[in-house]
Amino acid sequence: MDALDMHLFDTNALIYYLAGEAPHVKEIFRALKERAERLSVSVISKIELLSIDDEAELAKVETLLGAVDVLGLDDRVVEESARVRRAYKLKLPDAIIAATALTHGYTLVTRNLQDFGRVGGLDVVDPKT
């Protein structure tokens, strides 16, 4: 994995990062920060992270979200989400995350290689390896 590629972080990668369990995520964050680039997440990951019940964890999440670009749903992502969902039978949130990465040409950082690894054309990296 080239730490300087463009990356979209799946929710689980961010959870591992917040827990201090993802050395590759820390490496990517550090490299992007050195280049003065911001990190990217899907709006789906933002929703999922903001759904955490623990107040202390939520404060960390809000800090993290303040330092990333949240990529929303435009027509290209919506259409690609539908295509990915039909083709690979992913759950809607996963289809949107995959489509966001595909549409923007980003590598997806995720622990969910079982689902995302099946999506043709999607570059995936496991943050725990």
DSSP letter string, 29-68: HHHHHHTTPPEEEEHHHHHHHHT---HHHHHHHHHHHTTE
pLDDT tens for residues 23-61? 677 777 777 667 766 679 999 999 999 998 988 889 989
pLDDT at 2: 47
- The answer as to whether 2 is a domain residue is no
- The answer as to whether 81 is a domain residue is yes
Q: Phi first, then psi: what are they for 108, rounded to 5°?
A: -90, 125
> The domain that contains 70 carries what CATH number?
3.40.50.1010
- The answer as to whether 1 is a domain residue is no
- The answer as to whether 44 is a domain residue is yes
Q: Model's pTM, two decimal places? A: 0.87
**Rounded (to 5) percent helix, strand, coil in the chain:** 55, 10, 35
Q: Phi first, then psi: what are they for 40, rounded to 5°?
A: -125, 140
How far apart CA 2 and CA 15 sit, in angstroms, is: 21
Structural domain including 100 reads 7-125
Q: With both helix axes pointing from N to C terminus, report the angle between 55-65 and 43-50 in degrees, rounded to the nearest 10.
A: 160
Q: How confident is the model at residue 90 (pLDDT cuts 50, 70, 90)?
A: very high
pLDDT tens for residues 71-83? 999 999 999 999 9
- The answer as to whether 37 is a domain residue is yes
How far apart CA 93 and CA 48 sit, in angstroms, is: 9
Mean pLDDT of 90-102: 98
Please give the tally of structural domains in the chain. Answer: 1
Using CA atoms, how far residue 42 sits from 21, 48, 55, 77, 92, in Å, is 21, 10, 22, 10, 13
